[in-house]
Structure 1
Amino acid sequence: MITGHVFIATSLDGYIARPDGDIDWLLNRDEPTEDHGYPTFIADKDAIIMGRGCYEKVLTLGEWAYDKPVLVLSRQLAGKPVPERLQGKVRFSDSTPTDAMRQLEAEGARRVYVDGGQLLQSFLRDGLIADLVVTTVPVLIGAGRPLFGALPRDVSLALESSRHFPSGLVQSTYRVLY
């Protein structure tokens, strides 16, 4: 059975980006070199699903950072050509979260990294997230794009672990209880 997994950072006040999508508060941190666990997290994932906003932000960060196949869910990008430098690495689709997971499962994927705020919210609404690794950055940005949005019902979580880093980041891993 295929499962969705999240690894994401948020400001202490619950935002993943400023209102304009800027993540300078996350990228421009003067902190010691710390292993926050991303290499271990991504190692057992078969594919990545991200939303358009996340995809467009990643494009601004320089060289493509992913060695796993990436499926970008976007009504705006579906049907458009993938940039030449990303062909064979990225696909665009306007599938629903459930259909996207079925498609990846049919292709042999079992564990999928789900990235992007609105996408994460829709995957949670559809019951497609197994666990979340949420890293809280000790900064208040006051406004922005929230990590979590409206849900049709409560989503209960079980804390699996929590750790802190010398830089002040706090990372918590939750299992989703459906």
Structure 2
Amino acid sequence: MARKLIFGMNQTLDGYIAAPGDDIGWSGPPSDELFRWWLDQELASELTLYGRKLWETMSAYWPTGDQQPGATPLEAEFARNWRDTPKVVFSSTSDKAGKAGELGWNTRLVTGDAVAEITRLKAGDGGPMTIGGATLAGAAVRAGLVDEYAVATHPVLVGGGTPFFAAMDSQVHLDLVETRTFPGGVVLTRYATRR
């Protein structure tokens, strides 16, 4: 049985994960309930796949997130889990992502064909995998590799930037799995790919 691949991120109401200039500050700090939901997803994941830009954002903070002044217990748990969970970083510009031996934190670098590697990982044994980063996830979506989508939509419009979904080659039909509202007007929707 193939491993499940889940693409989940926060997005604006107009469909962007980052505003112009790669600005992700539009979401502000998440509520404890939303942060807990994301943490639970991460705890259930056995492998995290990152595109280079998202890797750079995550690795700039989470290796020491539990040591930051004012870190909450949830943030400390997220940081510990982030360090311990195996990660794969996909980059066509490996000089920006770092050399394979320099990434650290249970992470390896892939500079070759991302779709081929994700296909190989899905065919292997193990629990669910999560994928993040618009370009990387877009390639996995177009290749039909994503099994589930988790979209936390925030009540803000940014007018442009990096879209949650990249251009598609064909339609993907989905089944609604869950809807949930979080403080601050954030609405979570989860969908399973109809196979």
| Alignment correspondent of 1:77 | 94
The structure 2 residue matched to 1:129, chosen from 138, 143, 146, is 146
| Alignment correspondent of 2:33 | 34
Deviation of 1:138 after TM superposition, in Å, equals 0.5
Letter of the 1:90 partner, please give it: T
Deviation of 1:127 after TM superposition, in Å, equals 0.7
| Alignment correspondent of 1:57 | 57
TM-score by length of 1: 0.86
Change (3 A) 1:83 1:140: farther
Gaps of 5+ in 1: none
Change (3 A) 1:97 1:63: same
CA distances 1:127-170 after superposition (whole Å, capped 9, x unpaired): 11110110001011111100112111011111111111221000
3-state secondary structure, aligned to 1:160: strand
Alignment of 1:23-172 (within 5 A): 23-26=24-27, 28-29=28-29, 32-36=31-35, 37-63=37-63, 65=79, 66=82, 67-77=84-94, 80-82=98-100, 84=102, 86-87=103-104, 89-104=106-121, 108-172=125-189
Letter of the 1:81 partner, please give it: K
Contact 2:4 2:122 in 1 (8 A): no
Contact 2:5 2:122 in 1 (8 A): no
Name the structure with the higher helix share.
Answer: 2
Letter of the 2:45 partner, please give it: K
Change (3 A) 1:104 1:83: same
Deviation of 1:119 after TM superposition, in Å, equals 1.1
Deviation of 1:39 after TM superposition, in Å, equals 2.4
Change (3 A) 1:40 1:59: closer
Deviation of 1:77 after TM superposition, in Å, equals 1.2
Deviation of 1:32 after TM superposition, in Å, equals 4.4
CA distances 1:15-62 after superposition (whole Å, capped 9, x unpaired): 000222120112x34x64324511221222211111011111213335
Gaps of 5+ in 2: 65-78
Distance 1:108 1:117 in 2: 26
Let me know the Cα RMSD of the aligned residues.
2.3
Change (3 A) 1:98 1:167: same
Contact 1:117 1:148 in 2 (8 A): yes
Contact 1:97 1:126 in 2 (8 A): no
Contact 1:2 1:101 in 2 (8 A): no
Name the structure with the higher strand share.
Answer: 1
